[in-house]
Amino acid sequence: MKTKVWLVVAALLVFTACEQTPKPAPKSVETDAQPATDPAPQESPTSAPASNCAPLDELAAMDNRKPVPLQPMMAWHQKQNMMEHLVAIQKITDRLAKDDWEAVAKASAMIESSPQMQQMCQHMGAGAEGFTELALEFHKRADKIGEAAKAKDKKAALAATSHTIEACTSCHATYRQEVVDAATWQARTGSDHDPSQMHHGH
Ligand code: HEC
């Protein structure tokens, strides 16, 4: 039963994903300017919009990672978080090379666990099973970098950094973004929360 519902949702997505492309008026409302017997002018307007979706469909067919449904603003927010994560890792390794332990801890704090992180991860992963768990595990691994920095233990700090990056790569190997509209997001997550509210105060 549940599977059936998902199939319907998936089928709807396939259709709605391409609806942003302006479509020519249905033939039934066309005037007699074009005789219905002439096949050439009827075919060109319908095939042109479809080709705009083809590259995205092609990509989706190749990328068999699990989709994480996100509304556009959430997807952008996630990408910004990700770029910050990479900056954090870069800073951690740079400060480690300099034995600047305070700065290692400061950089690590950018990706360590916090109530806000937890809330964000739960929100982002609402429509993708297992995503939030992986995300929280990632932040937990990063906590160990800060702990090692406080102990000025370079070996432990490097091991914790590697362990953390492994959480990045395993999530990337498993999940991809799927940008959807608000109604689809609510249907897929069973949530009526407005994600735009998440961005106030950032
Ligand atoms: C729990 C899952 C998860 C974890 C953990 C995670 N990421 Fe990501 N990351 C994603 C997803 C999903 C995307 C979007 C992929 C896509 O475009 O479909 C992404 C995209 C990115 C991008 C591309 C951003 C862009 O501009 O398109 C970067 C860079 C990135 N992640 C860095 C990192 C780094 C560095 C870490 C660890 C320190 C990390 N991520 C941890 C899920 C994760």
User: What does the mean pLDDT of the chain come to?
Assistant: 81
Please tell me the predicted confidence (pLDDT) of residue 183.
95
Ligand 1 proximal residues by C-beta, below 6 Å: 68, 79, 82-83, 85-86, 89, 111, 131, 134-135, 138, 164, 167-168, 171-172, 175-177
Alpha carbon nearest to ligand 1 atom 32, residue: 82
Is the model more confident about 167 or about 25? 167
Residue 25: its H or E element: none
Please tell me the predicted confidence (pLDDT) of residue 47.
44
Q: What is the mean pLDDT of residues 86-112?
A: 98
Residue (of 67, 56, 9) closest to 186 by Cα position = 9
Lowest mean pLDDT among 52-61, 85-94, 147-156: 52-61
How distant, in Å, are the alpha carbons of 50, 170, 172, 178 from that of 65? 24, 11, 9, 10
The rounded percent of the chain whose pLDDT value lies above 70 is 69
Residue (of 95, 92, 82) closest to 144 by Cα position = 92
Q: How far is the CA of 45 from the centre of ligand 1 (A)?
A: 39
Alpha carbon nearest to ligand 1 atom 12, residue: 176
Ligand 1 pocket test target in 80, 168, 178 with most atoms within 8 Å of CB: 168
pLDDT band at 53 (very low <50, low <70, confident <90, very high): confident
Counting other chains too, the contacts that 45-50 makes at CB distance below 8 Å and 24 or more residues apart are: 49/18, 49/21, 49/22, 49/23, 49/24, 50/18, 50/21
Alpha carbon nearest to ligand 1 atom 41, residue: 168
pLDDT band at 144 (very low <50, low <70, confident <90, very high): very high
Question: Is residue 41's pLDDT more than 50?
Answer: no
Q: Kindly list the structural domains of the chain, giving each domain's residue range(s) and its CATH number in brackets, ordered by start.
A: 2-62 (no CATH), 66-199 (1.20.120)
Q: What is the mean pLDDT of residues 161-171?
A: 98
Lowest mean pLDDT among 34-43, 51-60, 88-97, 184-193: 34-43
